Chains A and B, each alone.
Chain A
Amino acid sequence: MHCDQVRPLLSASLDGELTARERQSLEAHLERCPDCTAYREKINRVGRLFREMEIPALSPDLTGRIMARIIRQPVLNTGLFSLLGTFMLLAFLAVLLLLLLSPAGGLLFALLRVLERNLSALLNLGTKLPVTGTNLFWSTALLLFSGILFYALHRIMRAEMIGKEIHP
C-alpha cells in the first residue's frame, strides 16, 4: 500500500472504524513507514486540540427565552387536536350555561324536543335560503367571528395554563 492510500485509513483508525482487513494492512504499512506513523500522531493531536477548544458559557436565561417563545407560538402549531379540544370545551360550557338559564333544565329539554321534531326542517333551512349578497355577507361574518372566538379563547387558556406551570 502507498502512503496516499493509507492516510484516509489513519483517520478512520483513530475513530475505531476500520475493518479487520484494513487494520492489518495499516499496521503492516506503519511498521515500515515512519512518515505515516508521525502523521497519525499529528492528526491525533489535532483531534485532541479540537476537543479541548474553549466553548463560551451559555447565557443563563436561555431556557427562559425558549419557554417564552413556546408560549408565544401560534395555536395552529399545536395541531388540529388542540383546536378540536377547545371546541369541545366551548360546547360543554354552552350546555352548562343553558342548563343554568333554564330552571331544572326544563327549557333545555323543551328546546331539545323542538329541535328533534324540526331537525329536518332546520337542516333544510340552509339549502332553502336564497344565495343573495346579504346572506353571504352575514354567513361569512358569522363564520369569521366564531373562528376568532375559538382562537382567542384557546390562546387565553393555553397562556394561563403554561403560565401556571412555569410560575405556580
Chain B
Amino acid sequence: MKDADLEVISRARDGSPTDFEKLINHYTRYAYKIAYGILLNRADAEEVVQEAFLTVYQRLAGLKNSEAFPSWLAKIITNLCFKQAQKNRPHISLENLSADESKLPAARPDTEPETALLNEEKDALIRRAVRELPLGYRAALVLREFEGYSYTEIAAIMDIPPGTVKSRLHKARALLAEKLGPEREVYDDAL
C-alpha cells in the first residue's frame, strides 16, 4: 500500500468531512468495480457504493490498521452486494438489465467501429455467462481477477474457508469455460 493511500485514510479517520470526501474520491472506483462485477448493474452497484461509504463514515474510527482498509471496504461491499441481490431477486429481469447497460457510456477508450462491435459482442457473451454464475462464485472471481486478492484474503473478506475459495474459483472458471465453450472467436480474440 502506498504512503499516499495511508495518508488519505488516516486523514479521513481524523474526522474532517473534506478529508472524507477525498477518501471517497480515492476509493470510489475500486469499490464500484467490485460492486459492479458482482451485481452487473450500474444503478445497484452505485447504490451499494453509497451505502458502503456511509458505513465507512460511521465505523472508520474503529479501524485500527489503515493498511487493512481496502480489504475492509471490499468486505463491506461484498456483504452489501449480497443484500442488494437478495432485495432485487423478485423484480429484476435479465431484459431490464441488458437494456439498462446498453444506454451506458463505455469506460474504455474509443476504438475503431469494427473492433468496437466485436468487443461489444464479446462483452455481451461474457456478461451473459457471468450472470449465470452463483453470486458467491462471482464475488470470489471478482476479488481474484479484478483486485488480485490471494485465497487467504478472499477467505477473510467473504468469511469462508480458503478451501472454499479455491473450489469456488475452480467451479466459476469451469462454468464460464463451459458456457463460452462453442464461441471460438471469443477465445481467439482474447489471445
Do the two chains bind? Answer: yes
Q: Please give the number of chain A residues whose Cβ is less than 8 angstroms from any Cβ of chain B in the complex.
A: 39
Interface residues on B, range: 35 or more
Residue of B with least CB distance to A50 = B145
Evaluate whether A54 and B173 lie within 8 angstroms (CB atoms) in the complex, with A47-B145, A70-B17, A165-B17 already known. Answer: no
| B97 vs chain A, min Cβ distance (A) | 12
The one of A56, A66, A78 in contact with B101, judged by C-beta atoms closer than 8 angstroms, is A56
Cα-based distance from A53 to B186 in the complex (angstroms)? 12
Q: CB distance B105 to A63 under 8 Å?
A: no
Name the A residues within 8 Å of B141 (CB-CB). 50
Are B50 and A66 in touch, CB under 8 angstroms?
Answer: yes
- Residue of chain B at shortest CB distance from A14: B173
Assess whether A58 is in contact with B32, with CB atoms less than 8 Å apart.
yes
Q: Is the interface of B mostly helix, strand, loop or mixed?
A: helix
CA distance A139 to B141 in the complex (A): 60
A65 touches B50 (CB 8 A): yes
Complex contact A58–B28 (CB within 8 A): yes
Contact residues of A: prevailing secondary structure: helix
Question: How far, in whole Å, are A8 and B104 apart by their CA atoms in the complex?
Answer: 37
- Do B18 and A11 have beta carbons less than 8 Å apart? no
Q: Is the CB of B80 closer than 8 A to any CB of chain A?
A: no
Mark the stretch among A25-33, A38-46, A103-111 that contacts chain B: A38-46
Q: Which residues of B contact A (CB under 8 A)?
A: 16-18, 20-21, 24-25, 28-29, 32-33, 36-37, 42, 46, 49-50, 53-54, 57-58, 101, 104-108, 119, 122-123, 126-127, 130, 141, 144-146, 150-151, 166-167, 169-170, 173-174, 176-177, 180, 186-187, 190-191
